[in-house]
């Protein structure tokens, strides 16, 4: 607790945490049982920003292929204002069963408890089949990228935890938490016309406008995203909500109509709705209101949102809505519906019953970072915590010592119960079977076979690397190579989990269309690459049909034979598919690559820093198919950090003809 003042996290207030100070205490407590002192514990500092490490502790089991993880407890805290506390927030104050101090509940108390658990394993050396792995993370309170668990996951430092249950320890109230919500923070600004309040008919009152607009947007939100039937199944305390929480207004006197007013708030979205769809839909509400601003109710006969006076400079009020962060930041905070059939959940529930007298899983519309993405990546994630939700982030924060003692016993029981339990069979997304319902279910992707992957990573024999026909060559100076790929924006996912770029893991993007059946072979063959490299590279299909309904109808083709188009076995597409709303991504990639047209079977390979490193245009069989191209070899080299195959510089005399290749599935106009 003595370090809590130095690990406050709020960059806007100038608080940058130094989690290394907390980490030093944890490592010191484990030192007598560490490998360096002859003990069994492997202690690692995983640092991606100076002074801000993550701490990983491993107690090895006898079977290296089976694991149990305790992760999520973080070493930073929210700021505390000593003037509003009755005690010093940066000292541990003990009052009976209460332990007061910033971080007692969230989350330094959890860090200490899990450290003592790992120390007990190191001291008593029980023989376990499963390795037990604990991970303390940096940068949680600021939802920062590039510091904490996102970097640990992207670097593959806890990949072994896909081999068993993972318990995220950062909730409250000593029960299993099986669901959380996503969060979208929004800011709605109304611009009106400043005027004397004695002549309101000559002004536009932005305060009235923004309140009426906010009410209408909320009304539409609850109509389009009502309570979902699965919320009852998961015992969510509330449905998805959209509400204002703050207001800001232009400075002025009481006898003036304010020229602008901003209302801010958030959307808490249960995991059964897609955040990208909500993002796009809410922005659409505002576009519609601006186009039909007269439909909003006014307040009295002199309240107006449009002015038809000839001598006024502003004729109509304006509404603007923006979200905090881009869509990828919002994806980072999406909610999770945990796997209700997980042995980890069963063990947690039974452990709470034994220690606390009851085990009652619940769900809450609070938010945790990265949990949805980790579930999609194949982690069987469960959530619990032992602090008090009533004191989270509060003045005079405290935790009960008796709860921490119970927590120790609960986790010991979980270790004992899970150690002998077999995993559930893997579903097609890499997660355990019977996970969360769509859209939170994992992408339909088969688990990567380790032997097949190892074989695919071997260097090809000399002469086995395909040589591209001249019209299919992508030269080293191609306009797309080296550029930042467009962000994935507001894609509407119709199969599998959202894909996030720029988090250290490469992405292979293939454009497709239900209308171009000849290009189904491209999806089939890219899926084969996914089946060996899917743990190393994310794969994503972007549908470019005219309507979402067209794209969704393609899903019926999966699992069927189509010998007339060279698909002689049931079609497999083992990676996420999304619909490109308004063809935004198609246009963005076309512009980035400076292409004359972009159609189905266009493939882009993007590295972990979101830079395009390769692109290739495939065509229907028997044209330029994936097996004849360089895509798999380029993927192999990207995974191993090797230089990609070079096709040299574009010959000057062929510069005008480079884009005249067979574009496979048509051009921008879908002229079928």
Whether residues 186 and 293 fall in one domain: yes
pLDDT of 218 reads: 98
Q: Is residue 597 a contact partner of residue 663, using CB atoms and an 8 Å limit?
A: yes
Whether residue 622 is preceded by a cis peptide bond, meaning omega within 30 degrees of 0, is: yes
Q: Is residue 605 a contact partner of residue 635, using CB atoms and an 8 Å limit?
A: yes
Number of domains in the chain: 3
User: Which runs of consecutive H residues, i.e. helices, occur in 74-224?
Assistant: 108-124, 149-154, 206-224
In a domain, 360, yes or no: yes
Distance separating alpha carbons of residues 106 and 93, to the nearest angstrom: 16
Q: Is residue 604 a contact partner of residue 475, using CB atoms and an 8 Å limit?
A: no
| Mean local confidence (pLDDT), 634-643 | 93
Position 172 confidence tier, pLDDT thresholds 50, 70, 90: confident
In a domain, 667, yes or no: no
Reported as a single tens digit per residue, the pLDDT across 418-442 is 997 765 544 433 333 333 443 333 3
C-alpha to C-alpha distances, 47 to 136, 157, 368, 501, nearest whole angstrom: 12, 11, 21, 21
Distance separating alpha carbons of residues 147 and 548, to the nearest angstrom: 37
Whether residues 18 and 141 fall in one domain: yes
Whether residues 455 and 389 fall in one domain: no
CA quadruple 531, 537, 540, 541: dihedral sign = negative
The domain that holds 557 is classified in CATH as 3.40.30.10
Q: Which domain holds residue 631?
A: 450-657
Q: Is residue 110 a contact partner of residue 137, using CB atoms and an 8 Å limit?
A: no
Q: Is residue 340 a contact partner of residue 201, using CB atoms and an 8 Å limit?
A: no
pLDDT of 581 reads: 86
Whether residues 255 and 266 fall in one domain: yes
Q: Are strands 131-137 and 67-74 parallel, antiparallel or unpaired?
A: parallel
pLDDT of 441 reads: 34
Whether residues 601 and 514 fall in one domain: yes
Cβ neighbours around 451 below 10 Å, total: 9
Q: Is residue 177 a contact partner of residue 185, using CB atoms and an 8 Å limit?
A: no
In a domain, 412, yes or no: yes
Whether residues 551 and 536 fall in one domain: yes
In a domain, 430, yes or no: no
In a domain, 316, yes or no: yes
Position 283 confidence tier, pLDDT thresholds 50, 70, 90: very high
**What stretch of H or E contains 320?**
strand 318-323
Find where tokens 């999770």 sit: 336
Does residue 527 come out as left (phi exceeding 0), alpha (psi in the -120 to 50 range) or beta?
alpha
Distance separating alpha carbons of residues 273 and 278, to the nearest angstrom: 8
Whether residues 459 and 565 fall in one domain: yes
Percent of the chain exceeding pLDDT 70 equals 92
Distance separating alpha carbons of residues 443 and 427, to the nearest angstrom: 9
**What stretch of H or E contains 602?**
strand 602-606
In a domain, 433, yes or no: no
* Residue 83 exposure: Cα atoms within 13 Å on the Cβ side: 0
Q: Which of 53-67, 258-272, 611-625 has the lowest mean pLDDT?
A: 611-625
CA quadruple 482, 484, 490, 495: dihedral sign = positive
In a domain, 428, yes or no: no
Position 404 confidence tier, pLDDT thresholds 50, 70, 90: very high
Whether residues 326 and 192 fall in one domain: yes
Beta-bridged to residue 512, according to DSSP, are 543
Distance separating alpha carbons of residues 20 and 299, to the nearest angstrom: 56
Distance separating alpha carbons of residues 372 and 378, to the nearest angstrom: 10
Q: How far out from the chain centre does Cα 637 lie?
A: 27
Task: Give the domain-ending residue among 308, 331, 354.
Answer: 331
Task: Catalogue the long-range contacts made by 28-35 (C-beta closer than 8 Å, 24 or more residues apart).
Answer: 29/115, 29/116, 29/119, 30/57, 30/115, 30/118, 30/119, 30/122, 32/119, 32/122, 32/123, 33/118, 33/119, 33/121, 33/122, 33/123, 34/122
> In this structure, what token pair is assigned to residue 104?
């007692």
Residues carrying an active site annotation:
76, 140
| Mean local confidence (pLDDT), 66-81 | 96
CA quadruple 222, 228, 232, 236: dihedral sign = negative
C-alpha to C-alpha distances, 646 to 98, 472, 475, 613, 631, nearest whole angstrom: 65, 14, 7, 11, 12
The domain that holds 257 is classified in CATH as 3.30.70.360
pLDDT of 433 reads: 34
Whether residues 159 and 80 fall in one domain: yes
Q: Are strands 67-74 and 165-169 parallel, antiparallel or unpaired?
A: parallel
pLDDT of 36 reads: 95
133: nearest Cα among 89, 182, 169, 183: 169
Position 653 confidence tier, pLDDT thresholds 50, 70, 90: low
Task: State the DSSP code for 41.
Answer: B
Whether residues 145 and 205 fall in one domain: no
Q: Is residue 109 a contact partner of residue 399, using CB atoms and an 8 Å limit?
A: yes
C-alpha to C-alpha distances, 227 to 69, 222, 224, 238, nearest whole angstrom: 33, 8, 10, 8
User: Of 61-70, 485-494, 663-672, where does the model show the most confidence?
Assistant: 61-70
Position 445 confidence tier, pLDDT thresholds 50, 70, 90: very low
CA quadruple 486, 671, 554, 490: dihedral sign = positive
The domain that holds 143 is classified in CATH as 3.40.630.10
151: nearest Cα among 16, 72, 48: 48
Q: How far out from the chain centre does Cα 535 lie?
A: 17
Give phi and psi for 57, each to the nearest 5: -125, 130
> In this structure, what token pair is assigned to residue 314?
């502003």
Position 502 confidence tier, pLDDT thresholds 50, 70, 90: low
Whether residues 19 and 167 fall in one domain: yes
User: Of 483-497, 539-553, 644-658, where does the model show the most confidence?
Assistant: 539-553
| Mean local confidence (pLDDT), 408-421 | 92
Cβ neighbours around 495 below 10 Å, total: 23
Task: Give the domain-ending residue among 294, 310, 331.
Answer: 331
C-alpha to C-alpha distances, 579 to 287, 458, 494, nearest whole angstrom: 21, 35, 7
Task: State the DSSP code for 568.
Answer: -
* Residue 603 exposure: Cα atoms within 13 Å on the Cβ side: 28
> In this structure, what token pair is assigned to residue 148?
């904490």
Whether residues 273 and 314 fall in one domain: yes
Task: Give the domain-ending residue among 366, 399, 419.
Answer: 419
> In this structure, what token pair is assigned to residue 95?
């009052």
68: nearest Cα among 129, 12, 142: 129
In a domain, 424, yes or no: no
pLDDT for residue 623 is more than 90: no
């Amino acid at each position: 607790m003595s370090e809590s003042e130095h690990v406050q996290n709020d960059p806007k207030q100038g608080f940058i945490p130094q989690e290394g100070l907390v980490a030093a205490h944890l490592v010191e407590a484990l030192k007598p049982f560490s490998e360096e002192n002859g003990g069994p514990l492997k202690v690692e500092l995983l640092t991606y920003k100076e002074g801000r490490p993550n701490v990983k502790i491993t107690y090895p089991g006898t079977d290296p292929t089976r694991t149990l993880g305790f992760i999520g407890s973080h070493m930073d805290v929210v700021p505390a204002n000593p003037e509003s506390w009755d005690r010093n927030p940066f000292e541990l104050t003990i009052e009976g069963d209460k332990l007061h101090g910033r971080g007692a509940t969230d989350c330094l108390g959890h860090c200490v408890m899990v450290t003592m658990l790992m120390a007990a394993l190191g001291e008593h050396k029980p023989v376990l089949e499963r390795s037990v792995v604990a991970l303390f993370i940096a940068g949680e309170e600021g939802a920062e990228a590039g510091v904490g668990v996102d970097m640990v996951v992207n670097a593959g430092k806890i990949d072994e935890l896909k081999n068993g249950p993972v318990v995220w320890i950062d909730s409250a109230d000593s029960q299993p938490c099986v669901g959380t919500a996503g969060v979208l923070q929004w800011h709605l600004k109304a611009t009106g016309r400043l005027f004397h309040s004695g002549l309101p008919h000559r002004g536009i009152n932005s305060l009235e406008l923004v309140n009426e607009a906010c009410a209408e947007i909320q009304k539409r939100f609850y109509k389009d995203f009502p309570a979902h039937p699965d919320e009852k199944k998961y015992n969510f305390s509330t449905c998805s909500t959209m509400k204002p929480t703050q207001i800001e207004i232009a400075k002025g006197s009481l006898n003036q109509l304010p020229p602008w007013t901003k209302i801010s708030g958030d959307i808490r979205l249960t995991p059964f709705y897609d955040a990208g769809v909500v993002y796009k839909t809410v922005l659409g509400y505002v576009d519609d209101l601006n186009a039909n601003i007269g439909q909003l109710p006014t307040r009295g006969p002199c309240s107006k949102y449009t002015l038809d006076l000839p001598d006024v400079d502003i004729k109509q009020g304006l509404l603007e809505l923006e979200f905090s962060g881009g869509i990828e930041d919002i994806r980072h905070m999406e909610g999770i519906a945990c796997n209700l059939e997980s042995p980890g959940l069963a063990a947690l529930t039974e452990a709470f019953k034994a220690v606390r007298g009851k085990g009652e899983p619940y769900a809450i519309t609070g938010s945790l970072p990265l949990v949805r993405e980790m579930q999609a990546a194949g982690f069987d994630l469960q959530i619990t915590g032992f602090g008090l939700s009533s004191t989270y982030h509060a003045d005079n924060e405290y935790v009960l010592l008796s709860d921490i003692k119970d927590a120790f016993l609960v986790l010991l029981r979980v270790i004992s119960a899970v150690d002998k339990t077999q995993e559930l069979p893997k579903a097609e997304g890499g997660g355990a079977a019977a996970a969360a319902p769509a859209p939170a279910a994992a992408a339909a992707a088969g688990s990567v076979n380790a032997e097949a992957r190892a074989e695919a990573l071997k260097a090809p024999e000399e002469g086995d690397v395909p040589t591209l026909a001249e019209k299919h060559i992508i030269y080293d100076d191609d306009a797309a190579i080296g550029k930042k790929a467009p962000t994935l924006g507001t894609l509407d996912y119709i199969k599998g989990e959202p894909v996030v770029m720029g988090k250290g893991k490469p992405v292979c993007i293939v454009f497709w269309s239900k209308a171009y059946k000849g290009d189904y072979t491209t999806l089939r063959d890219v899926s084969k690459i996914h089946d060996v490299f899917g743990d190393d590279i994310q794969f994503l299909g972007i549908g470019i049909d005219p309507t979402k309904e067209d794209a969704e109808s393609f899903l019926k083709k999966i699992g069927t034979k189509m010998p007339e188009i060279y698909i002689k076995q049931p079609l497999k597409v083992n990676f996420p598919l999304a619909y490109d709303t308004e063809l935004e991504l198609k246009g963005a990639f076309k512009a980035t690559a400076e292409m004359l047209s972009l159609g189905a079977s266009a493939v882009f390979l993007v590295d972990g820093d979101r830079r395009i490193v390769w692109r290739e245009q495939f065509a229907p069989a028997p044209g330029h198919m994936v097996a004849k191209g360089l895509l798999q070899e380029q993927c192999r080299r990207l995974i191993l950090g090797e230089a990609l195959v070079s096709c040299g510089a574009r010959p000057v005399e062929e510069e005008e003809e480079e884009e005249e290749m067979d574009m496979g599935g048509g051009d921008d106009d879908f002229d079928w």
